[in-house]
Amino acid sequence: MKNYKYYDLILGGYVCVLLCANLIGPAKVSTVHLPLVGSVTFLAGVLFFPISYLFGDILTEVYGYARDRRVVWSGFAALIFASIMAAVVVHLPPAEHWKNNQRAVEEIFGNTPRIILASIVAFWCGSFVNSFVLAKMKVWTNGRWLWTRIIGSTLCGELVDSALFYTIAFTGLWPTEELLAVTTTQYVLKSSWEVIATPLTYKVVAFLKRAEQEDYFDRSTDFTPFSLKA
């Protein structure tokens, strides 16, 4: 397998962003008031989770679907470990002098199994949809019009991610109208990130293609997600 200068660094950054977005982000629900739009309520993690899709786009565009697949599985394993660790930490009996802080720990890290399951399933499915769509569009366009596949793949991936997460996590707990409204808001906010960040994505992709001497086309790739082969 070809060695790359920056692939491992990008993998580490991806996992870091993913863990922070899923562990720190859900700890707070925020409401901001926007001109012309009004009040918008969202989980704080929505500001940072879309960065993982930027990583996914860059990895697939430069290194190909198979190498992005390895990164997604790394993030998947990290999320499972972090969830197990959080559960253990929350349920360990607190020391006598720490009992007053136990409630805060439970509030921040004590996500229900349903929300944890929703987060992991949504991430896994959405990430692979994003990578698959981008890889296919690159072949169809013969590498032209990068912005179309950056935005198009994110719209598909974030749609799957948002729909799965809120359906699994909150169906039966929230009224249907509220569930649809929040899901739509989160989807629009996360997808808008990609549009805003497109110029930055262009620069990073161009830099990596020059530095790595790589511009991979997935013309004969096995697109099964159940593999670690690069």
| Phi and psi, residue 63, nearest 5° | -100, -15
* Identity of the amino acid at 69: R
The structural domains of the chain, ordered by start, are: 7-212 (1.10.1760)
Per-residue pLDDT tens, the chain, 230 aa: give them: 688 999 999 999 999 999 888 877 766 777 888 787 778 777 777 778 888 999 999 999 999 999 999 999 999 999 999 999 988 999 999 999 999 999 888 887 777 788 889 999 999 999 999 999 999 999 999 999 999 999 999 999 999 999 999 899 889 988 999 889 888 988 988 898 888 999 999 999 999 999 999 999 999 999 999 999 98
pLDDT digits (tens, 9 = 90+) for 149-172: 999 999 999 999 999 998 998 899
Q: What is the distance between the alpha carbons of residues 199 and 194, in angstroms, rounded to a whole number?
A: 10
* Identity of the amino acid at 162: S
Q: Are 134 and 29 in contact (CB under 8 A)?
A: no
Q: What is the reported pTM?
A: 0.91
Q: Are 176 and 130 in contact (CB under 8 A)?
A: no
